[in-house]
Amino acid sequence: MLRRLLQRVRMGQSLFQPKVLVIAGTTGVGKSQLAVELALRFNGEVINSDSMQVYCGVPIITNKHPIEERRGVKHHLMDYVGWHEEYYLHRFEQECLQCIDDIHRRGKLPIIVGGTHYYLQALFQKRVKGEGSRAPTAAEQELLNSGDADAVYEALGKVDPDIAAKYHPNDIRRVRRMLEIYYTTGTKPSRTFAAQELQLRYDTLFLWLYSDMDSLGPRLDARVDNMLANGGMAEIRELYGYYRNNTYSEEQCQNGIWQVIGFKEFLPWLENSAMESLETCVDKMKTRTRQYAKKQIKWIRKMLIPDISGKIYLLDASDLSRWDNLVHMKAVKMAASFLENSEEVAHELAPPELQFLLTSPARTSSPKENKDWTHYKCPICRDKNDQELTAIGEHNWLIHTRSRRHKANLNRGKKKKAYEEWAKKKLAEEMIEPSSTPTSLS
């Protein structure tokens, strides 16, 4: 009773800077379990950020935490999207922010848990960056400082008519700012993803539940076997029934629930069991699960960690027999300290032997000093001016490749083949191979 009261007061104190807890990590590492443990301890509710678990049904192959193991903790954004729908980042952003506000209003702690780390962008507020890659020339500076609204507007109109059209010529402060961005970045503000700086919307504690692949790999393999033996196969058939009834083709597997690991892998066998053996499908599912886990780690190191300037607390879940000491107790300490005073979480970021994960080559620059102006031209997407869409910097490029627009364009059959060949060449060795060094981020 007293503890609950104290907690209320604590949450009340943080009204000006509402707090959010995030548990990141690969599939099969125990995020859901940790989330429930922390929710019970700190009066929290769970918000799902796994792009497959938002869909209705199929709890086994999407790996939803079993209801009896949720121990009464409320789970949001789970199990409510129809199979005909396509869930995407902007919808998650809307729904997640609503959920967070709602949980805060009830004096509780939102805990975001899920493997789709791409969705964590919902937690960032984007605003135009205050510094560029070069200083304006003397002449440019003179114009910027002239206070001549018409001249500044005219200059902006010449370099970026799209953005100029958005402002009234008398809105000198903003018009001047846009022109300054153009001068200092060399990029049109209207298409400048790169001129965005990330800021967290909430006072957020990021936990990374980590397991090395040597111990995670066999766990994932065993989980696949388990899934298939305990209802997963029936779910795959259930999905297949819907797929057939809607006369989908394999291209559909790039969208919505159809991307779930297991479906595409079993599709050839479901279509023609004489052509593909069941064992092959199981093996493919295991391989893809491991690949997915590796990609998740890569995303955390390369995308999430730079976005939050390295402020993530790593918990080692490699040895499940030491969960209580290495995960549960540490996480409780970190969260308690964060709720007390988020400025000084009284804990090291990572055990010494795992600190290298936070300081990889992927983390050489924070977004603030990010000077990655590499232009990635997407061969299948067009911008407003019907030019090839350009993403500036690898970071924005990776985000673009996961966007709904890009995926939609990808699905328009013809473009798909050309793109895949291009992407194979450009991406395969550069971003997906773990051995590569990202030159553009260094």
- Residues at the site binding Zn ion, with contacts judged by CB under 5 A: 378, 381, 406
List the beta bridge partners of residue 75: 46
> How far apart are CB 434 and Zn ion at their closest, in Å?
24
Residue 402 sits at φ, ψ, to 5 deg, of: -100, 5
- Position with the least CB separation from Zn ion: 381
* Chain position carrying tokens 């060949």: 421
Nearer to Zn ion, 41 or 400 (CB): 400
Nearer to Zn ion, 69 or 251 (CB): 251
Indicate the SS3 state at residue 27. Answer: coil
Contact (Cβ atoms closer than 8 angstroms) between residue 34 and residue 211:
no
Nearer to Zn ion, 8 or 412 (CB): 412
> How far apart are CB 420 and Zn ion at their closest, in Å?
13
How would you class 82 by CB atoms within 10 Å of its CB: exposed for 0-12, middle for 13-18, buried for 19 or more? exposed
Nearer to Zn ion, 103 or 378 (CB): 378
> Within a 13 Å sphere around the CA of 262, how many CA atoms are in the beta-carbon half?
27
Cα–Cα distance list, 104 to 73, 353, 376 (Å):
15, 36, 40
List the beta bridge partners of residue 203: 19
> How far apart are CB 392 and Zn ion at their closest, in Å?
14
> How far apart are CB 406 and Zn ion at their closest, in Å?
4
CA distance 311 to 208: 10
List the beta bridge partners of residue 110: 45
Cα–Cα distance list, 170 to 121, 143, 334 (Å):
34, 15, 50
> How far apart are CB 388 and Zn ion at their closest, in Å?
9
Nearer to Zn ion, 38 or 381 (CB): 381
> How far apart are CB 182 and Zn ion at their closest, in Å?
24
Nearer to Zn ion, 237 or 412 (CB): 412
Rounded to the nearest 10 degrees, the angle between the axes of helix 263-271 and helix 278-299 is: 160
> How far apart are CB 400 and Zn ion at their closest, in Å?
6
Q: What string of DSSP letters covers 262-313?
A: THHHHHHHHH-TTTS-HHHHHHHHHHHHHHHHHHHHHHIIIIIHHHTTT--E
Cα–Cα distance list, 314 to 49, 123, 328, 338, 340 (Å):
19, 19, 12, 14, 19
> How far apart are CB 376 and Zn ion at their closest, in Å?
9
Kindly report the CA angle at 19 between 17 and 21, in degrees rounded to 5? 155
> Within a 13 Å sphere around the CA of 347, how many CA atoms are in the beta-carbon half?
27
> How far apart are CB 379 and Zn ion at their closest, in Å?
8
Nearer to Zn ion, 379 or 438 (CB): 379
The residues, any chain, with a CB within 8 Å of residue 92's CB and separated by 6 or more, are: 49, 51, 54, 77, 119, 122
Nearer to Zn ion, 290 or 406 (CB): 406
For 322, other C-beta atoms within 10 Å of its C-beta total 12
Nearer to Zn ion, 23 or 410 (CB): 410
Nearer to Zn ion, 370 or 403 (CB): 403
CA distance 394 to 385: 22
> How far apart are CB 381 and Zn ion at their closest, in Å?
3
> How far apart are CB 251 and Zn ion at their closest, in Å?
16
Please state whether 312 falls in left (phi above 0), alpha (psi between -120 and 50) or beta. beta
Nearer to Zn ion, 339 or 398 (CB): 398
